[in-house]
Amino acid sequence: MVQTFDITDDEVGKKVVDADGEAVGMVTEVRHGTAYVDAEPGLKDKLMAKLGWEHTDEDAYPLQKSEIDAITDDEIRLRQM
């Protein structure tokens, strides 16, 4: 069973890490229950593609709830990809 998460403004400022604990980016805003992430410079294209983050002029990328494994007080951890 896939756990779902309620994304709130409390997530703004949290770092986003992959399943191995490597930094992916930081939540910069939440819109309509979706966290938007400012990606780390040099984030690998392969990981960005798996997250559905295309290179655009946007400053932040939407994080799909289905990609989230856990939310703590300090970070959002992504599922193993």
- Does the pLDDT at position 77 exceed 90? yes
**Residue for token digits 């040099």?**
42
- Does the pLDDT at position 1 exceed 60? no
| Rounded Cα gap, residues 81 and 46, in angstroms | 10
The pLDDT value recorded for residue 37 is 93
* Tens digits of residue pLDDT in 65-74: 889 999 999 9
What is the rounded average pLDDT for all residues in the chain? 86
Q: Which two tokens stand for residue 44?
A: 């690998």
- Does the pLDDT at position 39 exceed 90? no
What is the pTM for the complete model shown? 0.84
Q: Which residue ranges make up each domain of the chain?
A: 9-78
Return the exposure string of 46-61: e unless at least 16 CB atoms fall within 10 Å of the residue's CB, then b.
ebeeebebeeeeeebb
CATH annotation of 9-78:
3.90.50.10
